[in-house]
């Protein structure tokens, strides 16, 4: 082996004295010499990926690197420190690997050293472009060491530079991770939290219960140990990956399990939530009528699958995606994280560079027949869904909603009302693991239900029960606001007039600066106001009220507000206040506010008897809930 060292020195001398020697031969001889040196001293330099993935300790424990001189570059320690300071779990996993190497060194199994200069802030900033990797490679070259990495690109670059490289790619670890023992055939999800007994949801989508797995609270060190094992396996196993990493949270997809790890400062304690799909279904497992099946096959191209959490939306979407794939359609998915359990023929895409808009742009180039968007939540998600649908791609979106109509209401505030039926034509509501309701959407021009004046005809989106064709909702704009109005008394117990009252109030508040209450019956409005404000509303010769009637297209009957009309005061809502007209008795006085006879708080009336209560205050919140609940509000002078 001594001759290997002499050969290495001779080779370097030859390179300086004979530059005409072929560069390829020089690299080959140099690599051979460095391999001799490694065999003589077993010098090893791992990069950051090898440390994070626990490659060196595994190789030492297997005997392959037993007795090696392992040199960890200070640049690697800096990277791990930066990751740990950002509360990234990969940083803590890497530091744990360094501790294991320290233990192996203490047992005499390796010699552990730390060498190399720490990277500059500029090199750290450019780390993702290889600046830090270059420092580690240079140290391996200087020491004639074996360069160990889990990064394929890093391995190829190192080989191109003539280094002796050992690439250890992702490999399966024998045995299941510890968390798997908490699952049985009926377990949908497992919830582990420090200081709390482990819990599990057992049952089927829409029909499950939360049960204790054990009566013993989990110690924090046990939760941390399980979390670190999950991150390590996600970094090394081929069918697992880290989906997202935040300060205090990590999202992992491990085989069929979706895992969210949370810890301080994001959460108040260490906790792990692990979810897995319990069943895999086909459309035949659902209550799909022949009529609906025909629509899915021939017409439906803007589908929203809605339902409350745990109702089985994702399971149904998986079945729907495979239904289309089985019909010879090209199907893709947009998921964050990618956890739909679909056939291999269906490509699953995550946010491109962290942005679903980029994924959508890429899919427009691929032109799939159908794209599953799981889940549509943020405004940008709705816009991407709409853009792709308007470009001709069949879309299937998953939306959280407690009622079927809420699914389409998510779109109303985000895209132009007239294009909603082009973006969404079918709503499938899932409850307790089955189809509970199906809506279809169409755009027509007509006078909305509850209005009689033909001049009020406008574009109306009709929402009909798909199976019965019964009209249940209308969506239209009135003034500057868009309304989603139930037109079937069986759909909602609240009468249609309350929605009309909202529209009229919007119209009147732009014209009048006085408190009022409006009630709608058919095509007539009864406007209740304080007697002293009625002349202002009527206007000279009735001109003002006539103009208001023309504006809303309905007749208005103005009546004084008295005990027969509610018994309490009228509350008008502005962007920042609740405004109460207390009358002459409370002018410039402190008053007591009562709600259903109980004292709620105190306020000061103005010289005109107007009381303004700021929103967000304790009294303001009490008034807000009282107004929403229709409770009686009274003002009592002090």
Task: Give 382-436 pLDDT, tens digit per residue.
Answer: 999 999 999 999 999 999 988 899 888 888 878 888 899 999 999 999 988 889 9
Residue located via tokens 């001759």: 3
For 325, phi then psi, to 5°, come to -60, -35
* Partners of 487 in beta bridges: none
DSSP H helical ranges for 283-378: 290-298, 313-326, 356-366
Greatest alpha-carbon pair distance for the chain in Å reads 117
Residues 178-202 have pLDDT tens digits of 899 999 888 989 999 999 999 999 8
pLDDT number for residue 579:
84
Q: How far is CA 304 from CA 441, 449, 453, in A?
A: 11, 26, 34
Q: Are 605 and 591 in contact (CB under 8 A)?
A: yes
Q: Are 605 and 588 in contact, with CB atoms under 8 Å apart?
A: yes
Q: What is the mean pLDDT of residues 482-497?
A: 61
Tokens of 622: 């009490």
What is the arithmetic mean of pLDDT over 437-452?
A: 87
pLDDT digits (tens, 9 = 90+) for 501-533: 566 666 766 666 666 777 766 567 777 777 777
Residues 210 and 232: their CA atoms lie apart, in Å, by 29
- Specify the 3-state DSSP secondary structure of 233: helix
* Average pLDDT estimate for 82-88: 80
* Upstream peptide bond of 95 is cis (omega within 30 degrees of 0): no
Strands 598-604 and 571-573: unpaired
Separation between Cα atoms, residue 350 and residue 338, nearest integer Å: 6
Is 38's pLDDT higher than 50? no
Residue 343: is its pLDDT beyond 90?
no
Find tokens 């001293």 and name the residue.
Answer: 41
Q: What is the pLDDT of residues 240-277, one digit of tens each?
A: 888 888 888 898 888 888 899 999 888 999 999 998 87
| Residue 611 to residue 588: CA distance in whole angstroms | 10
Q: What single-letter DSSP state applies at residue 218? A: B
In this predicted structure, the answer to whether residue 231 has a pLDDT above a threshold of 90 is no
Write down the pLDDT at residue 136.
92
DSSP alpha helices (H): ranges in 391-439?
A: 404-412, 420-423
Q: Residue 399's closest CA among 301, 306, 317, 302?
A: 306
Whole-model pTM?
0.54
- Residue 632 and residue 568: Cα distance in Å, rounded? 5
- pLDDT (tens digit, 9 = 90+) per residue, 550-604? 777 777 888 776 433 344 677 877 778 888 877 777 888 888 888 888 888 888 8
Q: Does the pLDDT value for residue 367 go beyond 70?
A: yes
Q: Quick one: pLDDT at residue 133?
A: 86
Q: Give residue 35's pLDDT band: very low, low, confident or very high (50, 70, 90).
A: very low
pLDDT given for residue 442 in this prediction: 93
């Amino acid at each position: 082996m001594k001759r290997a060292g002499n050969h290495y020195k001779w080779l370097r001398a030859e390179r300086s004295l004979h530059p005409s020697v072929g560069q390829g031969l020089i690299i080959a001889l140099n690599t051979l010499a460095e391999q001799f040196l490694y065999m003589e001293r077993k010098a090893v330099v791992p990069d950051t990926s090898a440390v994070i993935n626990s490659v060196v300790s595994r190789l030492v424990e297997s005997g392959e690197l037993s007795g090696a001189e392992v040199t960890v570059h200070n640049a690697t320690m800096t990277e791990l420190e930066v990751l740990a300071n950002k509360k990234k779990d990969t940083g803590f996993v890497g530091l744990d690997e360094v501790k294991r190497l320290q233990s192996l060194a203490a047992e005499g199994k390796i010699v552990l050293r730390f060498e190399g200069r720490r990277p500059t802030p500029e090199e750290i900033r450019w780390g993702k472009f290889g600046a830090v990797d270059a420092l580690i490679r240079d140290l391996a070259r200087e020491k004639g060491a074996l360069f160990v990495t889990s990064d394929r690109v890093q391995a190829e670059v190192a080989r191109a530079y003539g280094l002796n490289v050992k690439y250890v790619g992702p490999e399966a670890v024998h045995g299941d991770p510890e968390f798997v023992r908490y699952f049985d055939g009926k377990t949908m999800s497992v919830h582990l939290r420090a200081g709390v007994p482990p819990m599990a949801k057992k049952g089927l989508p829409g029909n499950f219960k939360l049960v204790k797995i054990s009566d013993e609270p989990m110690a924090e060190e046990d939760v941390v140990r399980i979390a670190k094992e999950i991150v390590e396996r996600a970094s090394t196993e081929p069918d697992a990956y880290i989906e997202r990493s935040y300060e205090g949270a990590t999202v992992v997809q491990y085989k069929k399990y979706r895992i969210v790890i949370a810890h301080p400062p994001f959460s108040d304690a260490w906790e792990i939530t692990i979810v897995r799909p319990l069943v895999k279904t086909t459309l035949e497992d659902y209550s799909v009528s022949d009529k609906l099946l025909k629509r899915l096959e021939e017409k439906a191209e803007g589908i929203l699958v809605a339902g409350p959490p745990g109702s089985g939306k994702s399971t149904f979407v998986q079945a729907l995606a495979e239904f289309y794939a089985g019909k010879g359609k090209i199907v893709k998915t947009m998921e964050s994280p990618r956890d739909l359990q679909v056939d291999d023929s269906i490509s699953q895409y995550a946010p491109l560079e962290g942005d679903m808009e980029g994924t959508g742009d890429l899919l427009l180039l691929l032109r799939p027949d159908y794209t599953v968007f799981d889940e549509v939540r943020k405004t940008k998600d709705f816009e991407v869904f709409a853009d792709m649908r308007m470009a001709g791609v069949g879309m299937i979106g998953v939306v959280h909603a407690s009622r079927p109509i809420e699914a389409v209401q998510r779109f109303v505030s985000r895209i132009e009302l007239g294009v909603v039926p082009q973006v969404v034509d079918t709503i499938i509501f899932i409850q307790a693991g089955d189809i509970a309701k199906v809506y279809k959407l169409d755009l027509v021009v007509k006078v909305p239900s509850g209005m009689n004046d033909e001049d009020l005809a406008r574009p109306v989106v009709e929402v009909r029960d798909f199976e019965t064709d019964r009209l249940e909702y209308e969506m239209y704009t009135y003034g500057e606001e868009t309304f989603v109005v139930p037109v079937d008394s069986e759909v909602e117990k609240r009468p249609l007039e309350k929605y009309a009252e909202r529209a009229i109030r919007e119209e009147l508040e732009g014209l009048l600066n006085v408190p009022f209450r409006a009630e709608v019956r058919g095509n007539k409005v009864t406007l209740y106001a304080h007697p002293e404000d009625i002349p202002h509303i009527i206007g000279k010769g009735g001109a003002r009220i006539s103009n208001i009637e023309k504006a809303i297209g309905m007749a208005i009957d103005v009546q004084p507000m008295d005990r027969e009309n509610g018994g309490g005061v009228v509350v008008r809502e502005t962007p920042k206040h609740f405004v109460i007209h207390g009358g002459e008795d409370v002018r410039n006085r402190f008053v007591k506010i009562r709600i259903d006879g109980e004292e709620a708080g105190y306020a000061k009336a103005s010289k005109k008897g107007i009381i303004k209560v700021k929103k967000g205050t304790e009294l303001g919140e009490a008034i807000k809930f009282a107004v929403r609940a229709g409770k009686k509000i009274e003002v009592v002078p002090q």
